[in-house]
Amino acid sequence: MDGDKVDVLLPAVASEEHAVADQASLAHFDHVLFAGTFDHLHVGHRAVITRSFLMARKTLRLALVAGELLQHKRLAKALQPFHVREKEALRFVQDIRPTDWHCEVAVIPDITRDPIGPARTLRDFDCLVVTTETAKGGAVVNEARKKAGCPEVAIVEVNLRSHSSNADDDNAKISSTDTREYISGKAGGEVPLTAMYDRWHALVSKACMFDGREGCQQQEELIDGWWSTLRDLYLQPWRYYHTLNHVKEILDNIECSRAGNGPLPASAVVAGPSRTSLELCAWFHDAIYVPGLDNNEKASELLWMSFCEDAAGSMDPKLRDDVSTIILATENHVSSRTLYPKAQYPTLNAFLDLDLLILASPTTRYQEYADGIRQEYEPVVGGPSVFAEQRSKFLSSVCSGDKAMFALCGPDAETRARNNMEMEFKHLQQQASH
């Protein structure tokens, strides 16, 4: 019932051909309902919710579409989970609600299979709010109510199209789809985004068993809620290297190593607990990442512990503690190698290798990585010259040191990494000389 698109300018008077209750004066009804996804709540949603709220004397119901009705929605894996959409809609109503306004506001949560939902038979209901683009839905609802033996309701069409805007001009509109397209684009497209969701779903289904079974509602809510959180964190606008693609590369290397053709010995990742720990670390180790801050790893570990709390005892405590230790160890790879010898901590050392493998990438991929780091840090440290100076010092200290960067990946990875870093160092020196 919500077309997800509305114009952002002032409302116009409803045209004559629409037999709706929306006229120049604001109509009032006892019980008003407005349905939609309310995904990434935007100015159009706010305008229609405000209009609906002002018309309602006793009750305003917001019917949030969920479940199966959203499975085939465009860019579905970029949608916010139900509880986030519900919270944002109710928060907005609370923000605009006068202190002496006694209208009750409720969310109808069960629009999952039937697009008409409770509007088909709802008794305390005398007005359905639609937008210009979803006006046909009003007639569908009233027809369904007639068949169910219920009285028809008034259809109020909120037309937010500007008088001066072209009716066919999509540039004059704002849409939740626009936000989802941004999310999808930053993730490399809808197919890669969906693939990452599928990997997350499979991982949490394996790691968090509620009552010893998969697929229960509690597990699905955990999966979708935390998918939205991690997805949005990794797609923050200041990230250029530390993105979902970084997570993907680590997961790919785990899979290849498990099959016997990856950078790690298969023995390091073949065991179930080890593989699960590595995959969970891939998702959480850089979940909190703000260039220039010193506590990113600790903040990421706290986020991991928050996830474990939401998992409500469905996770093995040893798995929880192992992942926590590994995330904190990524703060300083060199000192962690000493603190956690590979003979006693093979999984931890395997992940440190995985996190650094980008340094041993083919030249083109390494250059992409270096450019991503530059874009992340240049604005923070004070511009190109300061970044080049600081980055050069870091590269020089690593390349001149005798500490091995890899514990399990072997001398070839070490050689490639040092060659790449020396190449970047020389490039920065050449830039500084011009």
Task: List, for residues 4-49, the tens digit of each pLDDT value.
Answer: 333 333 333 333 333 344 444 578 899 999 988 888 787 788 888 8
Residue with tokens 């849409």: 175
First vs last Cα of the chain: how many Å apart? 61
- Give ∠ CA 173-175-179 in degrees, rounded to 5: 130
Task: Please tell me the predicted confidence (pLDDT) of residue 7.
Answer: 36
Give the other-Cβ count within 10 Å of 140's Cβ. 14
Check pLDDT > 90 for residue 67: no
The residue with greater pLDDT, 222 or 66, is 222
| Sequence ranges of the domains in the chain | 29-158, 176-357, 363-432
Question: At 340, which helix (H) or strand (E)?
Answer: none
The residue with greater pLDDT, 142 or 161, is 142
- Give ∠ CA 300-302-305 in degrees, rounded to 5: 115
| Average pLDDT over every residue of 335-363 | 95
Task: Please tell me the predicted confidence (pLDDT) of residue 48.
Answer: 85
| Average pLDDT over every residue of 152-168 | 67
Check pLDDT > 80 for residue 77: no
Check pLDDT > 80 for residue 2: no
pLDDT tens figures, 96-123: 777 667 788 888 876 667 888 888 899 8
Task: Please tell me the predicted confidence (pLDDT) of residue 161.
Answer: 55
The residue with greater pLDDT, 110 or 394, is 394
Following DSSP, what letter does each residue of 7-53 receive, concatenated?
Answer: E-S---PPPTT---S--SSPP-EEEEEEEE--TT--HHHHHHHHHHH
Check pLDDT > 50 for residue 302: yes
Provide the b/e sequence for 7-26 (b: ≥16 CB within 10 Å).
bebebeebeeeeebbbeeee
Task: Please tell me the predicted confidence (pLDDT) of residue 212.
Answer: 56
Closest Cα partner for 356 from 394, 404, 388, 322?
Answer: 404
Check pLDDT > 50 for residue 434: yes
Counting Cβ atoms within 10 Å, is residue 344 exposed (0-12), middle (13-18) or buried (19+)? exposed
Give the other-Cβ count within 10 Å of 319's Cβ. 16
Following DSSP, what letter does each residue of 170-225 receive, concatenated?
Answer: GGGEEEHHHHHHHHHHHTTSHHHHHHHHHHHHHHHHHH--BTTBSS-HHHHHHHHH
Closest Cα partner for 234 from 394, 376, 360, 81?
Answer: 376
Kindly tell me the sign of the dihedral angle through the C-alpha atoms of 274, 276, 279, 280: negative
The confidence band for 378, taking pLDDT boundaries of 50, 70 and 90, is very high
List 60's β-bridge partners, or say none: 32, 105
Tokens of 424: 């970047």
Task: Please tell me the predicted confidence (pLDDT) of residue 3.
Answer: 38
Give the other-Cβ count within 10 Å of 363's Cβ. 11
Task: Please tell me the predicted confidence (pLDDT) of residue 386.
Answer: 92
Q: Among 77-81, 241-245, 363-367, which stretch is predicted with the lowest mean pLDDT?
A: 77-81
Helix, strand or coil, per DSSP, at residue 416: helix
Query: What percentage of the chain exceeds 70 in pLDDT?
Result: 86
The residue with greater pLDDT, 211 or 313, is 313
| Average pLDDT over every residue of 74-102 | 78
Give the distance, in angstroms, between the CA of residue 88 and the centroid of all CA atoms in the same chain. 15
The confidence band for 173, taking pLDDT boundaries of 50, 70 and 90, is low
Task: Please tell me the predicted confidence (pLDDT) of residue 242.
Answer: 96
Residue with tokens 């200041």: 238
| Residues present in the chain in total | 434
Mean confidence (pLDDT) of the chain: 84
Question: At 397, which helix (H) or strand (E)?
Answer: helix 384-400
Tokens of 302: 């706290």
Task: Please tell me the predicted confidence (pLDDT) of residue 99.
Answer: 65
Task: Please tell me the predicted confidence (pLDDT) of residue 10.
Answer: 33
For the domain made up of 29-158, the CATH class stated in words is alpha beta
Tokens of 355: 């996190």
Task: Please tell me the predicted confidence (pLDDT) of residue 214.
Answer: 56
**If you compute the radius of gyration of the chain from its CA atoms, what whole number of angstroms results?**
27
> Residue 353: CB partners within 8 Å, gap ≥ 6?
263, 264, 406, 407, 408, 409, 413
| Average pLDDT over every residue of 74-101 | 79
The confidence band for 1, taking pLDDT boundaries of 50, 70 and 90, is very low
Task: Please tell me the predicted confidence (pLDDT) of residue 21.
Answer: 43
Helix, strand or coil, per DSSP, at residue 110: strand
The residue with greater pLDDT, 143 or 104, is 143
